């Protein structure tokens, strides 16, 4: 007989659309729990993330009632995490402790004293041991890959172990990767045959499955397979009646058996994360290397020595993620002793908007917008004022300006550009526009063997022909008040498709600066060219005065603004002012100029993969003032909320 622990992790990101929650509830969360109720001998360890808990409590309290009754019957064990689903290794210890406490309190409201942690994205760092122990946690669930990375063999990974740091220990359970790919994508008999194959007479042996609850109804093709074709009922029926399989919960196992021994796990996540977290060029090489090993039949033997990046690499891969994360750390320090602000901070720590793998993640503007909204709200409980500091930890100083209604952050080292312009009233960061990047999977095709239903990892990802002409990649980050020096004759198509020449590579040049009350002067000079911009916060926005001198060239002043109202075609305008009403994201604002200007306007769209295939997503709109230089030119630009 082999012991078997079956667990699910239900999660929706902070800021996801209400209809997504609704669809997931109807297709996955509710039918799963209702099916479970029909099989009183079936036991499931369940983790539900805080954003989803709050939605369920408000919209479908009957689900919470059913969950509570299943806990009372002993069918369900609640596994906790940080309440708003942060990657614990990426937030301060003080915040980890409170996030875990909040979720343990919720579990107690269901009548369960939770002792186990579902580790978000299974991102492990040894220092977490102390946090977990201090939080009253006895065990944590990670992948078998973590153990293999520590040198253990696959056959040693059907038992939990202790791990230690600083004299404290917690129990670590390994999730079986084989089961993650079998359940629920392959016929039930294949799952049972695999479980039977593990039985070697050792009564303490345990196989653990713990994975996304969305696999049971939301992932492509799974609703029909799991419910309409009856996979889940067949699985519950056969696994509960199989005399060779002993269903257990984590706490039941630990009451009956001792962990096998002591291990030390390295910084790790699941294997796929080590691919996704690498910079794109290296990720492509990593995939090529893995495929080469598979072709030669060597991958399974040597895979434990094949390691890519770690989760925190996303802060290197995506500067927008890094800046958002470091602003979160800054706010965390500011509001540590302000309880009413910390709930907003904790929401801003929700992991999804900080990274990208199979799903949109950082590529989804509404997820980033939710993080920024809560960051700004938390920040309003503390007034940092104006300061100069290396906010994003890149070794170069940023200039932070605080007005009555706005935060403005300049990066003098990167073209003197505005990297953040956040509204305290609207709780939006107007500068939150993601750069168009080449991703390594833009040229990768997946494979599927045809049995059962394909998992997301096996879906075809061939880029449709109609998208190829719309895809462009940026040379620089997309910021506000970003200066470009262009040759005469440059067209809007050259510029929007990033095929233009950049004189002096102005967006990356370090600008000099000095500060004054409510503002900053920035300037750059090289050869016969000079540009100066004087920025000042207003109650309803900002004003910036440009002075530039040069001959036979064009100064292009670009404002990338996080507008979500869909724009299909580029436009060349002659305007003295432009009013924008973005109902989906940043609201209504006006750009005003002290004289008529030529304005280039075009959508900034990124290409990313998702569970449904490909997404071409509008990240914002570029508004670029074209200023031909033949001597000295001046222009005043105002941005106003209306």
Q: Is 292 exposed, middle or buried (0-12, 13-18, 19+ CB in 10 A)?
A: exposed
Chain centre distance of CA 6? 26
Instruction: From the candidates 54, 127, 212, 494, give the one annotated as an active-site residue.
Output: 212
- The CA distance from 193 to 207, in Å, is 13
- pTM of the prediction? 0.94
Vertex 619: Cα angle to 640 and 610 (nearest 5): 155
Q: 245, 195 in Cβ contact below 8 A?
A: yes
Residue 455: which pLDDT band, with cuts at 50, 70 and 90?
Answer: very low
Question: Is a pLDDT exceeding 50 seen at residue 119?
Answer: yes
What average pLDDT score do residues 178-194 get? 97
**Percent of the residues in the chain that have a pLDDT greater than 70, as a whole number:** 96
Q: Is 212 among the residues known to form the active site?
A: yes
Q: Residue 571 pLDDT > 70, yes or no?
A: yes
pLDDT of the residue at 458 = 44
SS3 (DSSP) at 500: coil
Q: What is the mean pLDDT of the chain?
A: 95
Q: What's the token pair of residue 521?
A: 């002067």
pLDDT of residue 447: 40
> pLDDT (tens digit, 9 = 90+) per residue, 4-38?
999 999 999 999 999 999 999 999 999 999 999 99
State the pLDDT at residue 471.
Answer: 86
Average pLDDT over residues 554-576: 96
* pLDDT 10s digits, 387-430: 999 999 999 999 999 999 999 999 999 999 999 999 999 999 99
Cα 237 to Cα 39, 40, 42, 503, distances in angstroms: 7, 10, 9, 69
Task: State the chain's maximal CA–CA distance in angstroms.
Answer: 88
For the four alpha carbons of 65, 67, 72 and 78, in that order, the dihedral sign comes to negative
Q: What is the mean pLDDT of residues 100-128?
A: 97
- Determine the Cα–Cα distance for residues 410 and 386; give it in Å rounded to an integer: 11
pLDDT computed for residue 463 by the predictor: 65
Look at residue 382 in the predicted model and tell me its pLDDT.
96
What does the pLDDT look like over 131-143, one tens digit per residue?
Answer: 999 999 999 999 9
Secondary structure (3-state) at 547: strand
| pLDDT value for 163 | 98
77 catalytic, yes or no? no
- The distance from CA 62 to its chain's CA centroid, rounded to whole angstroms, is 30
Residue 461, pLDDT above cutoff 60: no
Centroid of chain to Cα 98: 21
Q: How far apart are CA 530 and CA 545, in angstroms?
A: 14
Residue-level pLDDT at 358: 86
Q: What is the pLDDT of residue 613?
A: 77
What ranges in 198-313 are assigned the alpha helix state H?
Answer: 222-223, 231-241, 250-256, 271-276, 280-295, 299-302
Q: How far apart are CA 477 and CA 434, in angstroms?
A: 8
| pLDDT at residue 359, rounded to an integer | 85
pLDDT tens column, 350-389: 999 999 998 889 999 999 999 999 999 999 999 999 999 9
The pLDDT tens digits for 304-354 are: 899 999 999 999 999 999 999 999 999 999 999 999 999 999 999 999 999
Over residues 43-97, the pLDDT tens digits come to 999 999 999 999 999 999 999 999 999 999 999 999 999 999 999 999 999 999 9
* Catalytic-role residue among 85, 121, 439, 532: 121
Strand partners, 530: 525, 549
Evaluate if residue 242 carries a pLDDT over 90. Answer: yes
8 A C-beta contact, residue 52 and residue 352: no
At residue 268, does pLDDT exceed 90? yes
- Would strands 541-561 and 482-487 be described as parallel, antiparallel, or unpaired? antiparallel
On the question of pLDDT at 453 being above 80, the answer is: no
Rounded to whole angstroms, the Cα distance separating 338 from 377 reads 12
Confidence of residue 456 (pLDDT cuts 50, 70, 90): very low
Distance (Å, rounded) from C-alpha 610 to C-alpha 81?
Answer: 25
**Residue 123 confidence (pLDDT) above 90:** yes
pLDDT in tens, 505-526: 999 999 999 999 899 999 999 9
Give the residue from 49, 589, 92, 619 showing the smallest Cα distance to 369: 619
pLDDT of the residue at 457: 45
Question: Does residue 229 register a pLDDT over 90?
Answer: yes
Query: Residue 464's pLDDT band (boundaries 50, 70, 90)?
Result: low
Rounded Cα gap, residues 39 and 414, in angstroms: 60
């Amino acid at each position: 007989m082999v012991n078997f622990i079956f667990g699910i992790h239900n999660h929706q990101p902070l800021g996801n659309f209400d209809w997504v929650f609704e669809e997931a509830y109807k297709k996955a969360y509710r039918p799963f729990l209702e099916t479970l109720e029909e099989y009183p001998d079936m036991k499931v360890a369940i983790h539900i993330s805080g954003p989803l808990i709050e939605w369920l409590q408000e919209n479908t309290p009957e689900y919470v009632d059913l969950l509570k009754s299943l806990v009372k019957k002993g069918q369900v064990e609640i596994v906790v995490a940080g309440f708003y689903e942060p990657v614990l290794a990426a937030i301060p210890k003080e915040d980890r402790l409170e996030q875990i406490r909040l979720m343990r309190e919720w579990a107690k409201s269901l009548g369960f004293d939770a002792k186990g942690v579902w580790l978000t994205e299974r991102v492990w760092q040894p220092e977490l041991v102390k946090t977990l122990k201090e939080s009253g946690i006895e065990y944590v669930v990670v992948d078998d890959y973590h153990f293999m990375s520590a040198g253990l063999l696959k056959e040693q990974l059907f038992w939990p172990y202790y791990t230690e740091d600083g004299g404290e220990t917690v129990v670590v359970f390994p999730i079986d990767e084989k089961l993650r790919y079998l359940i629920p994508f392959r016929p039930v008999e294949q799952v049972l045959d695999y479980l039977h194959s593990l039985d070697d007479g050792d009564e303490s042996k345990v196989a653990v499955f713990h994975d996304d609850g969305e696999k049971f109804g939301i992932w492509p093709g799974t609703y029909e397979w799991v419910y309409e074709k009856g996979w889940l009922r067949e699985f519950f029926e056969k696994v509960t009646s199989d005399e060779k399989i002993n269903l257990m919960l984590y706490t039941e196992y630990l009451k009956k058996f001792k962990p096998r021994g002591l291990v030390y796990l390295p910084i790790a996540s699941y294997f796929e994360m080590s691919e996704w977290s690498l910079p794109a060029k290296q990720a492509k090489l990593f995939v090529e290397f893995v495929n080469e090993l598979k072709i030669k039949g060597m991958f399974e033997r040597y895979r434990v020595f094949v390691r890519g990046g770690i989760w925190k690499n996303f802060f290197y891969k995506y500067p927008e993620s890094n800046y958002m994360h470091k602003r979160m750390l800054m706010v965390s320090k500011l509001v540590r002793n302000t309880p009413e602000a910390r709930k907003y901070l904790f929401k801003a720590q929700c992991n999804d908007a900080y990274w990208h793998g199979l799903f949109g993640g950082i590529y989804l503007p509404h997820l980033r917008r939710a993080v920024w909204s809560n960051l700004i709200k938390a920040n309003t409980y503390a007034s940092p004022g104006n300061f100069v500091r290396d906010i994003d930890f890149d070794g170069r100083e940023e200039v932070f300006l605080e007005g009555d209604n706005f935060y403005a952050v300049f990066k003098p080292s990167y073209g003197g550009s505005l990297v953040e312009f956040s509204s305290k009233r609207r709780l939006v960061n107007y500068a939150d526009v993601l750069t168009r990047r080449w991703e390594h999977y833009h040229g990768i095709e997946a494979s599927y063997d045809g049995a059962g239903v394909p998992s997301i990892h096996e879906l075809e990802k061939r880029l449709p022909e109609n998208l190829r002409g719309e895809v462009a990649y940026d040379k620089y980050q997309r910021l506000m008040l970003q200066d470009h020096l262009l040759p005469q004759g440059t067209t809007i198509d050259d510029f929007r498709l990033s095929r233009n020449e950049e004189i002096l590579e102005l967006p990356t040049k370090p600008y000099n600066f000095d500060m004054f009350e409510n503002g900053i002067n920035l300037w750059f000079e090289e050869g016969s060219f000079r540009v100066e911009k004087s920025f000042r916060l207003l109650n309803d926005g900002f004003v910036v005065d440009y002075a530039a001198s040069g001959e036979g060239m064009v100064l292009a002043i670009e404002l990338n603004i996080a507008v979500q109202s869909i724009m299909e075609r580029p436009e060349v305008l002659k305007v003295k002012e432009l009013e924008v009403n973005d109902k989906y994201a940043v609201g209504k604002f006006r750009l005003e100029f002290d004289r008529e200007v030529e304005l280039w306007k075009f959508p900034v769209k990124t290409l990313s993969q998702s569970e449904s295939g490909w997404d071409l997503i509008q990240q914002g709109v570029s508004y670029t003032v074209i200023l031909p230089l033949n001597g000295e030119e001046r222009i005043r630009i105002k941005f106003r909320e209306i």
